[in-house]
Amino acid sequence: MLFELAHITKTFPTAQGRITSLDDVSLSVGEGQAVGLVGESGSGKTTLIRCALLLTQPDGGAVTFDGTSMLGATREQVRQFRRQVQLVFQDPFSSLNPRMTVEELVGEGLVIHGIENSAARRRDSVAEMLTVVGLRPDDMKRYPNSFSGGQRQRIAIARALAIRPRLLVCDEPVSALDVSVQAQVINLLREMQKALGLTILFVAHDLAVVRHLCAHVYVLNRGKIVESGSRDQVFDHPTHPYTQALLAAVPIPDPRRRPPRRQPAPAAS
Amino acid sequence: MTLAAVRRSVQSSGKLDMFVFALTGFLIFLAIFGPLLAPDSIYRSDIGNALQPPSGAHWFGTDDQGRDIFWRLVAGAQATLLSSVLIVAAYSLIGVAVATIAAVGPKWLDELLMRITDIGLALPGLIVALGFAAALGPSLESAIIAKAITGWPVTARLLRSILMQTMTAQYVVGAQVLGASKWRLMTRHVLPNSLDILIVKWAGDIGATVLILAAMSFIGVGAQAPSAEWGAMVADAKGYVSSAWWAVAAPGAMIAITSVAFSLLGDILQVWRDPSLRDSR
């Protein structure tokens, strides 16, 4: 396994005592896989991502990347981790520094990790990355506020992928976008996964999106993994009542297919 | 009608913005070139001409030494306004440094600096500045130093809270995930997105500092007698206010106009920076 979270526990102190945000959460992501993590708001998704990316120290458990335990890792090990694990945020309007040009944003990782030290080579690299995510290289002199939400998310993906990470964590990357743009971004992620051999941990509350992209699915409810398995297993034969409720809540666009409530939605294409 | 209401009604037309820009621009021009424009006679006594009322020859009249008040005001803009700009620049630098160290440093250092800031905030700034100025000897320089030393706590407190807020922005977390060093996070992501509010504060602070500097000169711990600093001019002329009101009124009006102009500039910049305030005021 490329990336493993084992028995992660995280609590937060409040006036009413400690609140358990994550309770013994374990999940693993194999190299080249796309794994989905589904849960509603407040289920602990964001806390899990923060723990997974070493932004918060969990109370207990282990984070292992490529065989290295990352809790209590050395500076150099953390630097290597940052080089290989990247994040795409939910809201492309707040995840891009408004005072940096697209070139600076996409090229920042190349600077930080000393991958391309010459400005000219870096510009070529950025141009190439922009083309890959479907933007024009001419766009690199512009600032993020002159782009639409979907374009911004492409910039964010280019920024994350510019340093060629092995694992991309996506925190609800399309939920802030229009439905028509959602599919474009999801398809882009899917292409990236295939073309670059990228491993993806995809966190979302939208089941249809997860179903389209992820071969393996975890369901998080109130800080616990209540169900996990392959896409077909979880979507066709959910065992946990929470998963069943989630699936029942997915609107089915075709009225003739609606009555048998638990029938799965047709796979989007 | 309150001042705020007047401001609102005039401001909606946009004419006040233009007027304030023109006025502050003109005052800054005076602060830079005023002493070059004014004739040398403004520092010489001409007792025969003392306390002349405003006339064609002396637009704002003359003072008790027979010096032309209009040209003294032009020359004095530098002592008053340029000094205020320097003071604000100096204590802003201290404030930015303290806030940045508090925001990125270890928690105990943050606590220490913020408690020192609290002490600074608790002390009445003008009184402490008076004390400093008295200890350093009464002169414009000591007034500048005194105000520069005592002015930083508000900037430090304000900026620290803004830095803390900016540090939780998603793009900062993103840069952290990308592996950016603390130095890079601060200089490329946090500070550039936090400092713009200081530009707003600077304008307002210059207005307030003009007033305080003039007050210090008036009390006698700032600029001294021959200087054309506006507060000192009011102090010099206060003994003759019943016979020569213009000698007090003219510099007093300049202090008020300058102070209000820069405060308004601060308000206007605030709206430019954050257009959502435009309709809410």
**What are the domain boundaries of chain A?**
3-94+168-250
- Residue A269 clears pLDDT 60, i.e. is over it: no
pLDDT digits (tens, 9 = 90+) for B3-51: 666 666 655 657 778 888 888 888 888 888 877 777 776 677 777 776 6
For A112, nearest residue in chain B (alpha carbons): B180
pLDDT band at B276 (very low <50, low <70, confident <90, very high): low
Q: Provide DSSP, chain A.
A: --EEEEEEEEEEEETTEEEEEEEEEEEEE-TT-EEEEE--TTSSHHHHHHHHTTSS--SEEEEEETTEE-TT--HHHHHHHHHHEEEE-S-TTTSS-TTS-HHHHHHHHHHHTTS--SHHHHHHHHHHHHHHTT--GGGGGS-GGGS-HHHHHHHHHHHHHTT--SEEEEESTTTTS-HHHHHHHHHHHHHHHHHHT-EEEEEES-HHHHHHH-SEEEEEETTEEEEEEEHHHHHHS--SHHHHHHHHTSPPS-GGG-SSTTSPPPPP-
Q: What superfamily in CATH does domain B61-274 come from?
A: MetI-like (1.10.3720.10)
pLDDT at B280: 47
pLDDT at B275: 61
Q: How far is B118 from chain A (nearest CA, A)?
A: 27
Delimit the domains of chain B by residue range.
61-274
Instruction: Say if domain A3-94+168-250 classifies as CATH 3.40.50.150.
Output: no
For B171, nearest residue in chain A (alpha carbons): A95
| Complex ipTM value | 0.83
Query: H or E segment at B28?
Result: helix B15-37
**Which of A94-103, A142-151, B62-71 shows the lowest per-residue confidence on average (mean pLDDT)?**
B62-71
By Cβ distance, the residue of A83, A89, A91 closest to B179 is A83
pLDDT digits (tens, 9 = 90+) for B111-169: 898 998 888 888 887 787 778 777 887 777 777 887 877 888 888 888 888 888 888 88
Going by the DSSP 8-state scheme, the letter that residue B81 receives in this structure is I
Chain B segment 186-225 residues within 8 A of A by beta carbon are: 188-189, 192-193
- Residues of A whose CB is below 8 A from B171: 94-98
pLDDT band at A169 (very low <50, low <70, confident <90, very high): very high
Q: How far is B179 from chain A (nearest CA, A)?
A: 5
Q: How far is A86 from chain B (nearest CA, A)?
A: 7
